[in-house]
Structure 1
């Protein structure tokens, strides 16, 4: 063991103290978050070397990351905002701008357009915040193309399930909005991040933040008539499965 490893200098009082304590015994200043684990090496006890963090996705150059933009996420948010502005300016019904009418009566394309149709700015704002936080994080890991496919799948499959349930219950309603896409992005990010954090030290993911975002998005149907609970839950399930699949297809480095 080298001479520099025998002691550390307290930044508060300047005293030399053992590297295996968390607080300075002279002034009480915090030296580190926790004491290191010890292991026996060459007959002596030494601090355990930190394990190498696993990376699920290839490390890209900083210049490449700086030049990239979350195009898929931006396209979804801006496309929905433009559609809402045109709908408000024209005064036409939501169904004219892609809302899902139950029963659908052969207009299958509405499964794809309904996640982009909104009845008010508040609904779009909540979904846009969720996408801006979680979809951009997913896009940094997967890329714009796969993220666009993921969001479309979450939204469309959520609408398909919502239509099936509403049809079975004999309802006549209009379903619209991207709560399924937003919940899918939250679930996909959580699945990917959880796998990244597994087995590493000092690697945490904000479970509380994910839970709060999920609860807000799930509760949207209480306040917005066109938001559908089934569409949101199915979209979240699709996103979670996609996140698990993406983690499995990218072995750790």
Structure 2
């Protein structure tokens, strides 16, 4: 029997699996006697090693199997196929002269639904058709390999070289096609967004401060009370604001890497749609589930995670063979961090993640067909966003929203921006039934302070009396009442309030000085 005939059958078998059945070449050794193939057509996935070898003794076969199984473990780990089945198929011209049945398995189907199964099948050259048939059934081949009649071939070697070249070419073409999936476009939009975000950050820092709640709200942060008043554009402007340099740097790095990857895969126009739709849905989710002031590109960035997950859904094996596990691990860490840190807006993160996935389903991957799926996705997103907006606008604002007004007003009072602070305390006192202690009490106190500066002493007195009624131990309110009575010439009333302040806060030098002055005036 001619050795070349065995090699021809070996390469005809590989050719059929790669070129006809669409399996993927993982590795071909230098002499071509060993080819590793991944069957990624359906689950459970399989790694198949096809070798053309002859063994004199069973111990030689056993030694080869030990090395092969060890290599299969490493290979499955590298490919992210730990649960894949492994088949070691050896086509041989000469079987071992001694018994080897206890070493190899029969060419029978694996246990249905099993994973991590492995076996070796030794097929003598003259039994190839017979022993390959049950494997073809198990693997779900479209047809049995076609073998050229040896009577029709005068020179076998050119046929072998042709088959080998065709397999290698098919492997290179598939690798090239897979590579193109990651480099469809260039990250023009990503590189355009980064300087815009940086320029806005610098502009706000020059005018005010990016860590100031007042400044963030003034320049377009998401703030529920103002959205309720009609400022819907905050759903979009919030994407371009960042709270401090650390927030800016973290989001810029994430946008550079994640945005760049998504734009290369989807192309610039699709990426632009994914980015803004994910950011918008993230802002809407924040509006519904979080009443804190929020800003940043985090929702849109989590949308990039969603887009990569959508890519993984369409190209599952390619996704996990390349970046899949890294993307999932980083995503889990970020989500877990968001749940552990109270100040992080996880509503925007999760909303952006879902929005990015949904937006990717709407725009689709380049050259992806399925118009019905895209239209269905668009309809589902539209209905979902409408429902969230309806729920968000119909939901009553809680004290959490108005506490922001208090923080801004308090900040402005300390900065002696008295008139600017007034509008915020006025808004708080209009909805006093929604606020809880001690915020409401302090709001009355600050409002009285502002009115005193405006020389509206009667109004200031009224609000201070409300303050001490709500909190009799508020010694600053008693002291301010004393000052108002002092200005009005009501010295005994002023002394009574001052004595109450000293009872609560004994030894206060400012209080003692005013007491001496009042005693002098009364006596």
Is the TM value for this pair above 0.5?
yes
Shift of 1:18: 5.8
Shift of 1:197: 3.5
* Between structures 1 and 2, the one with greater helix share: 2
Residue 41 in 1 paired to residue 162 in 2? no
Local SS of the residue matching 1:233: helix
Residues 111, 156 of structure 1: 8 Å contact kept: yes
Residues 263, 271 of structure 2: 8 Å contact kept: yes
Shift of 1:89: 2.5
Distance 1:212 1:237 in 2: 17
Following superposition of structure 1 onto structure 2, how do residues 79-118 of structure 1 map, counting pairs within 5 Å? 79-92=196-209, 93-104=215-226, 105-118=229-242
Residue 239 in 1 paired to residue 356 in 2? yes
Q: Cα distance 1:220–1:86, how it changes in 2: closer, same or farther (>3 A)?
A: farther
Distance 1:127 1:22 in 2: 54
Residues 56, 247 of structure 1: 8 Å contact kept: no
- Cα deviations by residue, 1:175-205 (Å, 9 ceiling, x for unpaired): 111111111101111211331245x7x9724
Q: Cα distance 1:118–1:224, how it changes in 2: closer, same or farther (>3 A)?
A: farther
Distance 2:246 2:5 in 1: 62
Residue 77 in 1 paired to residue 194 in 2? yes
Shift of 1:236: 0.6
Distance 2:217 2:52 in 1: 63
TM-score of the aligned structures, taking structure 1 as reference length: 0.70
Residue 122 in 1 paired to residue 246 in 2? yes
Shift of 1:131: 2.3
* Deviation larger for 231-240 or 156-165: 156-165
Shift of 1:237: 0.3
Residues 99, 174 of structure 1: 8 Å contact kept: yes
- Cα deviations by residue, 1:81-117 (Å, 9 ceiling, x for unpaired): 2212222232242223321122122211111110111
Task: Please point out which of 302, 318, 323 is paired with 1:206.
Answer: 323
The equivalent residue for 1:158 is 282
Residue 183 in 1 paired to residue 302 in 2? yes
TM-score of the aligned structures, taking structure 2 as reference length: 0.37
Q: Which has the larger radius of gyration?
A: 2
The equivalent residue for 2:369 is 251
Q: Structure 1: state its 5+ residue gaps.
A: none
Shift of 1:123: 1.9
Shift of 1:223: 4.9
- Number of residue equivalences: 233
- Cα deviations by residue, 1:29-50 (Å, 9 ceiling, x for unpaired): 9999577777653459x99x77
Q: Structure 2: state its 5+ residue gaps.
A: 12-27, 36-49, 54-62, 76-85, 90-131, 137-143, 149-162, 210-214, 371-523
Distance 1:18 1:54 in 2: 20
* Deviation larger for 75-84 or 149-158: 75-84
* Deviation larger for 157-166 or 16-25: 16-25
Q: Cα distance 1:131–1:36, how it changes in 2: closer, same or farther (>3 A)?
A: farther
Shift of 1:216: 4.1
Distance 2:316 2:332 in 1: 23
Distance 1:229 1:130 in 2: 16
Residues 182, 217 of structure 1: 8 Å contact kept: no
